[in-house]
Structure 1
Amino acid sequence: MDDEMNSMYMNGVWDLVELPHGCKPVGCKWVFKTKRDSSGKIERYKARLVVKGYSQREGIDFKETFSPVSTKDSFRVIMAIVAHFDLELHQMDVKTAFLNGHLDEEVYMEQPTGFAEVGKEDLVYKLNKSIYGLKHASRQWYLKFDRIITQNGFKENTIDRCIYLWE
């Protein structure tokens, strides 16, 4: 839990502020997972702070949630091309991906139980970046990813918006 809170702090995910009049903060909770290696032995324990996104209201806490998802057909075509031309394929995973998406809307979240700052328990977090559980977290991640990858010379495919070509 400490690692997760440090990651949030280091990524500038939020600012501790007074709740503006008329705003309602969303709650948060901890989700715990046991990570195991290929033989089933416990590798590590993971804690993730997530927002209770089910309490968000469309038009108030978020405007749009859509983010494209690649099709199975696109995946199959890429795999066939890689096999046919004996190409090398690289996969990547972005650790804490959703923490990289910037928010356009103002979203306020309660401080997690046990982690409220002493003397500032009445304050809330104003989210600067998306976190897991937000209704629009995947959209914000996609928008940032798209902006950065296209700035680096990749072109978005017109048929499947999750496929990019480097020219």
Structure 2
Amino acid sequence: LAITDIERRTPKNYRQACNAHDKDQWRAAMQREFDRFKKYNAYTLVPPDHPLHNPIETYVIRSVWKYRYKTKNGKIVSLKARYCADGAHMKEQIEQRKKTLGEDLALTPDKITSPSADMMTTKLLVALAARLHLEIHSGDVPSAYLQSDLDSTKYAIYIPQPPGFEEPGKEGWLMLLNSAVYGLVNAGNLWYETYA
């Protein structure tokens, strides 16, 4: 398949995934993602009338399923679903908080960015490795952000339960996040602080 065909087939939302010709594989991918949320104790389910505890910051933000075909040599090898926080919605709330409470009580860029190597440092290390005939290895941490800690004494972040995965009898309850999820503006920094 051409890249454009894959992009065209990729569901844009939960409803499209449920109606896709490969809906069973998408359902399995979503189940794997939600199982990871449970495995890493990423959330605590709370009722909608739960008093939103008041650490310095509290956010109730939208969330969304994101879908992707993983390919190798132009062929689909697997389907990936990720349940993400809506980072744009969180940014809106941060800006609103800055206006109403002031800069000191809102997440600021130093709290939402994580350290990373600049391009010159990376190029220098690659050149040095080539010169010294060294091997370079890189890696991936599966479900990295779900393995980070979210300090609920500083802020609380709530998201809705994923469509299609609401706990029976607790539909409409919110997920109080215990760890970062993809899409949070400060997810990279939380992961860095947990493992640095």
Superposition TM-score, scaled by structure 2 size: 0.68
The equivalent position to 1:124 in structure 2, one of 162, 165, 174, is: 174
Equivalent residue number for residue 48 of structure 1: 82
Q: CA deviation at 1:69?
A: 2.2
Paired letter, 2:51: H
Describe the SS at the equivalent of 2:84: strand
More helix by share: 2
CA offsets per residue over residues 1-41 of structure 1, 9 Å max, x none? Answer: 0110001111111111124335662121111101111x211
Please show how residues 79-158 of structure 1 align to structure 2 within 5 Å: 79-104=126-151, 105-146=155-196
Q: Contact between 2:85 and 2:159, CA under 8 Å: does it hold in 1?
A: yes
Q: CA deviation at 1:144?
A: 1.6
Paired letter, 1:98: Y
Say if 2:70 is the partner of 1:35: yes
Say if 2:51 is the partner of 1:21: yes
2: CA distance between counterparts of 1:65 and 1:136? 4
Q: CA deviation at 1:141?
A: 1.1
Task: State, as a whole percentage, how many aligned pairs show the same letter.
Answer: 30
Q: Which range is displaced more, 84-93 or 119-128?
A: 84-93
Q: CA deviation at 1:62?
A: 4.3
Q: Which range is displaced more, 61-70 or 11-20?
A: 61-70
Describe the SS at the equivalent of 1:107: strand
2: CA distance between counterparts of 1:102 and 1:69? 19
CA offsets per residue over residues 115-149 of structure 1, 9 Å max, x none? Answer: 11111113211100000011111110111221xxx
Say if 2:110 is the partner of 1:76: no
Q: Contact between 1:61 and 1:107, CA under 8 Å: does it hold in 2?
A: no
2: CA distance between counterparts of 1:62 and 1:12? 24
Q: Which range is displaced more, 11-20 or 41-50?
A: 11-20
Describe the SS at the equivalent of 1:9: helix
1: CA distance between counterparts of 2:66 and 2:106? 22
Q: CA deviation at 1:72?
A: 1.0
* Runs of 4+ off more than 3 Å: 19-24, 59-63
Superposition TM-score, scaled by structure 1 size: 0.79
2: CA distance between counterparts of 1:100 and 1:89? 25
Task: Structure 1 unaligned segments of length 5 or more: list them.
Answer: 147-167
CA offsets per residue over residues 85-124 of structure 1, 9 Å max, x none? Answer: 1122221111121112211221111111111111111321
